[in-house]
A and B are shown apart, each in its own frame.
Chain A
């Protein structure tokens, strides 16, 4: 709920700092933008003047031309890969939080689940993807979404567990004094207290979900995503095209990162 209603004039006061923060962010962002542009120019110059062969490194201008030429394909393949990443992210998030809640509730579940999840964190995607593709067939997205799910569960589970353990002693005493049931303790104190940790887990998992979705496509299956296009373009020595799809994969990853960051900010605002 907003504080503006309670503190008269607060909304008027907040407009000022808001504007200043916008200017401040611009001031903070421009060196990075300038650095990126300078890097691209340098890259172009090195490739053109140094006569670097295209299979080694295509110039940014060629990649940009490919992005333009392939725009409709890039958008549709990015949507497929992004969709797989999103589906796996949601599934992994729900499973990770649910598993952590169960583990926090029961010692048995904790002792069973923790090593399994930690083992899952050690499984390389490159090992999992071909196995899942064979298991679930190469005409569905299930295998790819499962790979993403496995990758996402780990950070979400670990950070949720950490959050659920962060109960302040005074809150625990209060719930005891109020004769709250274990379920009420979870609902009123543990879970809301863990929310910032859960959101941090989601933020960390979001870009990893995109990486997993792209890599999972390298191991066969439908040829409708960014990963498939990158590997087929590279196999056909169309290096500039491959790089165009790589750029799209980076953009999707950044988009997920920003979405995760935004979700975290929105959910935890107003907390001290």
Chain B
């Protein structure tokens, strides 16, 4: 089985700006990998290169063994941005259906799939509501459900919880852990938050300021499959209070500091 994402020697320049320098990274199938680093370190750019929204200046990129473009055309990945980006003229369920609608899935089939996904993110009772009637956290859950609609093997997330308040954010993290476990999709997750990266990930990729390089890769504290299968927010709470959690946070913080020197 090929890796979910395979990057070797990826370089990106925007004119004179050297954004990414010699990135080598493998994301295994079903693995949860976070990218963390200071603003402008190119972590979002790296995600966008994987998504084929940006082209690398040099280096090789494979997404599930295919070129990023082929992976995009085949809907092999789902993507969620910092803004939920829901279409306000569509109901919640129609927003979740959007990827399937674009790919001409029959209406009954896509409606059934969307209902399933709304149940997964706990919003089935809001299927007929307009996005404007939902809170920011609920909108982001709809966006995640939408990203999952084509059953992708890879989920790309660009600071999806960045605009949420701390409590909502922690609930969403628990939710995401459960969803990632249930769908067994690999996740590449961009974040600013050290605790968020540590609690969610198998591995945390720490990047240096421009030009973005990988400084270090730290093991995260993602709860094991047994815990996650019937995860409640309290379990994530336990992780947050464990000694290994603080050890991992310290390791990431030191790696970030090292990148600045």
Contact = CB atoms under 8 A, between A and B. Distances in A.
A44 B98 CA distance: 63
B88 A184 contact: no
Nearest to A189: B87
Given A3-B133, A179-B102, A174 B89 contact: no
Interface residues of B, number: 30
Contact of A6 (B85, B89, B102, B126): B126
B57 interface: no
A271 B89 contact: yes
Interface residues of A, number: 26
Contacts of A177: 51-53, 72, 77, 79
Contacts of A7: 129, 133
Contacts of B91: 1
Interface string B203-245: 0000000000000000000000000000000000000000000
A171 B87 contact: yes
Interface in B121-145: 125-133
B73 interface: yes
A54 to B, nearest CB: 56
Nearest to A180: B102
Interface in B165-223: none
Contacts of A140: none
Interface string B32-53: 0000000000000000000111
Interface in A1-21: 1-3, 5-7
A137 interface: no
A188 B130 contact: no
Interface string B76-90: 010101010101111
A75 B81 CA distance: 58
18 contacts: A6-B127, A6-B128, A168-B83, A170-B81, A170-B85, A173-B81, A174-B81, A177-B53, A178-B103, A179-B102, A188-B87, A189-B87, A270-B130, A271-B88, A271-B89, A272-B88, A272-B131, A272-B132
Interface of A: 1-3, 5-7, 168, 170-171, 173-180, 184, 188-189, 192-193, 195, 270-272
